Amino acid sequence: MMDRIILIVLLGIMSTYHVTAQDTLVLNNLSGAVSLAFNNNTDILNGQLDIESKHQHSKEVMSAGLPQVKADGKLIDNTELPVNIFPVTGAMSKLFAVPAGSVLALRLGMQNNINGGVQAHQLLYDQSFFINLKTARSTGQLSEMSLTKIKEDLALQLATTYYNELLCNRQIEFLRKQLDSYKNLFQVAEVQFQNGTCKKTDLDRIIVNRTNLESSLQDYESLDQQQLSDMKLLMGISIEKELVIKDSISDKSIFAESGSVDIHNRIDWLILQKQGEIQEYDIMQKKAGYLPVLAFNAIYNKDYWGMNYANLYSGSSWYSSSYLNLTLDVPIFEGFKKKSQIAQSTISLNEIHNRQALLSSTFNKEISDARNKLINSLVRLESQNKNLKLANDVYQSTILEYKEGTANLSDLLNSENSLLESQTQFMSAIADKLLAELSLQKAKGVLLQSIDTSLSK
């Protein structure tokens, strides 16, 4: 009995631990967040379904070139045989004993008929079929490229939110540290007030500044929850799940230096190139409409005729028929319809070529702008880093001087405000650098590779 109780308790403890683990998600780096998003994000899942749909469509197109075989059958009971009208000639007049020149109505045929047969069709030559097959395959490849584009956009959005969250956490940590410092400062000011070396207004100013810090902290904590919710949505996980990020932000580069850049490897370029290829197939398909189509057909039928089904199993009541044929469909003239269609498709292809030329210039500009922004952000970051260290040194020195009575409260509060401003500017400089790095990787077309190689280490 005691063993069963212990087992139940242990199972309860294990169950509780399992739920806790299940309700908490821990991220160690951006790569883990991106990997999770790629497995759960709705847009990604739908993109994968679209690829499978295009794959099945390609099989559907291919089926037109395979043998088409079908069987059919029918059973007919002529409850009332149809009437056939014949003009009565001289010979028929004697045979049927009716006046010549009149008409004769006869019911001809068998009451019961069973018909069954097999038909086979094989396409031998149709240029449109081969072009449609190439188009279907290219459309499937375009879906795969579109999915890569979705992944790239998602990775950029998630990375931006991820690093903003890390910056937010760092700012929260800084503000909490400042509030702890204010508690000590308030205690010193209270002692000085009791000794008559501090005014009541000085205590009030400390309280006001502390309240402002608490409000700033609440704002950042609210922003922290909002950004965590945004990340959960991007990663496709439940909003109720607790998200813990065991990562930190620094002023170091988040990506390794990449080599040469080929803008033709950018997914936007590849998508446009594939669209041009599909458009070329469309032109070829319309031109193929001028070519003949050759097909082979074979049909075999078996019929039973009788006034009843008494001889159904008698071979003499069944009659077979079959034939083979080749069909050649040669288009001759359709009123210049195909010519107009080809012209329209050619115009669309030229538009794609124009977009490619513009896209090439746009890519080069994006890379140049991102590089310049990164260079400027690095210069600003270095300057703000030095300024933050200097502001912190001044603040720490002023605290000591204030406690020793060699500095007044105004000097302390001014140095504290300078520190807060320097911290804000430093965080802003890091954010600008991170955004510039992400933009540069995207402009180069290597964002996804960079996340895999640089951030998963």
The CATH number of whichever domain residue 351 belongs to comes to 1.20.1600.10
Helix (H) or strand (E) run with residue 45 in it: helix 42-63
Q: Which residues contact 322 (CB under 8 A, 6 or more apart)?
A: 298, 299, 300, 301
- Per the model's pLDDT, the better-predicted residue between 11 and 388 turns out to be 388
Residue 232 within any structural domain of the chain: yes
**CA of 376: how far to CAs of 142, 363, 435, 440, in Å?**
37, 20, 12, 13
Residue 103 within any structural domain of the chain: no
For position 408, what pLDDT does the model report?
Answer: 82
3-state secondary structure of 107: strand
Q: pLDDT-based confidence at 5, cuts 50/70/90? A: very low
Say if residue 81's pLDDT is above 90. no
Say if residue 163's pLDDT is above 50. yes
Query: If you average pLDDT over every residue of the chain, what do you get?
Result: 86
Residue 425 within any structural domain of the chain: yes
CA distance 23 to 39: 18
pTM for this model (two decimals): 0.81
Residue 88 within any structural domain of the chain: no
For the stretch 300-305, contacts whose Cβ atoms lie closer than 8 Å and that sit 24 or more positions apart, written own/partner, are 300/117, 300/118, 301/115, 301/116, 301/117, 302/115, 302/116, 302/117, 303/113, 303/114, 303/115, 304/112, 304/113, 304/114, 304/115, 305/110, 305/112, 305/113
Residue 70 within any structural domain of the chain: no
Q: Which residues contact 103 (CB under 8 A, 6 or more apart)?
A: 85, 86, 87, 88
For position 311, what pLDDT does the model report?
Answer: 78
For position 2, what pLDDT does the model report?
Answer: 39
For position 3, what pLDDT does the model report?
Answer: 46
Between 35-49, 101-115, 192-206, 376-390, the lowest mean confidence (pLDDT) is in 192-206
For position 226, what pLDDT does the model report?
Answer: 95
Q: pLDDT-based confidence at 451, cuts 50/70/90? A: confident
% pLDDT > 90, the chain: 54
Say if residue 24's pLDDT is above 80. yes
If you write DSSP's letter for every residue of 346-360 in order, what string do you get? HHHHHHHHHHHHHHH
Q: pLDDT-based confidence at 274, cuts 50/70/90? A: very high
Overall number of domains in the chain: 1
CA distance 407 to 412: 7
Say if residue 15's pLDDT is above 60. no
- Per the model's pLDDT, the better-predicted residue between 393 and 92 turns out to be 393
- Per the model's pLDDT, the better-predicted residue between 321 and 186 turns out to be 321
Amino acid code (one letter) for 317: S
**CA of 216: how far to CAs of 168, 175, 223, 413, in Å?**
11, 8, 11, 16
Q: Which residues contact 27 (CB under 8 A, 6 or more apart)?
A: 33, 36, 243, 244, 245, 246, 247
- Residue 326 — left, alpha, or beta (φ > 0 → left; ψ -120 to 50 → alpha)? beta
Q: pLDDT-based confidence at 54, cuts 50/70/90? A: very high
> Would you tell me how many other CB atoms lie within 10 Å of the CB of residue 356?
15
For position 446, what pLDDT does the model report?
Answer: 87
Say if residue 13's pLDDT is above 60. no
Adjacency order of strands within the sheet including 112-125:
68-77, 112-125, 293-306, 318-329
> Would you tell me how many other CB atoms lie within 10 Å of the CB of residue 98?
13
Structure tokens at 29: 């780096």
For position 12, what pLDDT does the model report?
Answer: 42
Q: pLDDT-based confidence at 276, cuts 50/70/90? A: very high
Question: Residue 178: which of 404, 170, 225 has the closest Cα?
Answer: 170
Helix (H) or strand (E) run with residue 75 in it: strand 68-77
Question: Residue 443: which of 265, 273, 252 has the closest Cα?
Answer: 265
For position 258, what pLDDT does the model report?
Answer: 62
Residue 99 within any structural domain of the chain: no
- Per the model's pLDDT, the better-predicted residue between 21 and 133 turns out to be 133
Buried b (16+ CB within 10 A) or exposed e, 128-156: bbebbbbbbbbbbbbbbbbbebbbbebbb
For position 349, what pLDDT does the model report?
Answer: 94
Residue 7 within any structural domain of the chain: no
Q: pLDDT-based confidence at 234, cuts 50/70/90? A: very high
Amino acid code (one letter) for 328: L
Amino acid code (one letter) for 110: M
Q: End-to-end distance of the chain based on CA atoms, in angstroms?
A: 52
Mean pLDDT, residues 290-306: 92
Residue 313 within any structural domain of the chain: no
List strand residue ranges (DSSP E) for 176-329, in order.
242-245, 293-306, 318-329
Say if residue 372's pLDDT is above 90. yes
Q: pLDDT-based confidence at 11, cuts 50/70/90? A: very low
> Would you tell me how many other CB atoms lie within 10 Å of the CB of residue 205?
16
For position 8, what pLDDT does the model report?
Answer: 38
- Per the model's pLDDT, the better-predicted residue between 51 and 264 turns out to be 51
Say if residue 262's pLDDT is above 70. yes
Q: Which residue segment(s) compose the domain that 444 sits in? A: 26-63+126-291+334-454
Say if residue 4's pLDDT is above 60. no
Whether 404 and 197 have beta carbons less than 8 Å apart is answered as no
Mean pLDDT, residues 261-280: 90
Mean pLDDT, residues 264-275: 92
The CA-CA-CA angle for residues 105, 111, 115, to 5°, reads 125
Q: Within 13 Å and on the Cβ side, how many CA atoms surround 87?
A: 2
Amino acid code (one letter) for 166: L
